[in-house]
Each structure stands twice: as structure tokens, then as C-alpha cells.
Amino acid sequence: MYIGAIVGALVGFIDYLTKLDNQNDKELDFLELILWVVSCGLVGSLSARLPDILEPATNPNHRKFFHSILLLLTSGTGTLTLTNSLIKAFCAGYVSHLIADLTTPKGLPLI
């Protein structure tokens, strides 16, 4: 959850600054920035828990479709290509969970 929160907040921060840069006449509003980063961090944190909610660790072989490399690639593509910051933060949080699981000896199934 912590990694998902950090990744989601980072996505929100980068997206906010990118949109601010594209709007030349708008000034930086720190309160708006903080609220946006916290919102994206919360979304990232919650979505990082989603794979284990969908496939609870009730046995050693609990990793199936929602813990797969296919979903890792799909969510990763969403993080890079979507325009809505909250949806990007959601995808990034999900990806953070799968990458963390990928580093374990069990790894992730292909599908």
C-alpha cells in the first residue's frame, strides 16, 4: 500500500505540473497541488491492494489472472498512455503491487 501511495502521488504530481506547464497563464496553487497529490496517492494506495482483494492469499498458488504479467503490461500501458490522472494513479498503484510480487521467488504467471 505504501509503494502504491508513493507511486500514485508521484503520478499526480507529474501530471499536475505537466498540465500547469501547458496552461501558460495559470499560476501554481500549492493547496490544489497538495490536494491533487494526496488524492492520487490515495487512489494508488487502494489500487495496490486490489490484486490481493481479487485473489486473496489463501494458499501458496493464489496468484492467477489478477496477478499476471498480462495485467502488469496492460496496467503499465494504461499508466503511460491515459490522460486522466486518477486513472493513471490507479494503474500505477496496481502495477506497483505486481512489480513487488514479481521480485519474489514465486514471481507472476504469464496469464
Residue with cell 481479487: 54
Residue 75 buriedness (CB in 10 A; 0-12 / 13-18 / 19+): buried
Q: What is the pLDDT of residue 73?
A: 95
Confidence of residue 91 (pLDDT cuts 50, 70, 90): very high
Query: Residue 25 pLDDT more than 90?
Result: no
Helix (H, G, I), strand (E, B) or coil at 23: coil
Examine the pLDDT at 8 and tell me if it is beyond 90.
yes
Predicted confidence (pLDDT) per residue in 30-59, tens digit = 999 999 999 999 999 999 999 999 999 887
Quickly state the pLDDT bin for 61 (edges 50, 70, 90). Answer: confident
Q: What is the pLDDT of residue 7?
A: 97
| pTM as predicted | 0.89
| Percent of the chain that is helix, strand, coil (3-state, to 5) | 70, 0, 30
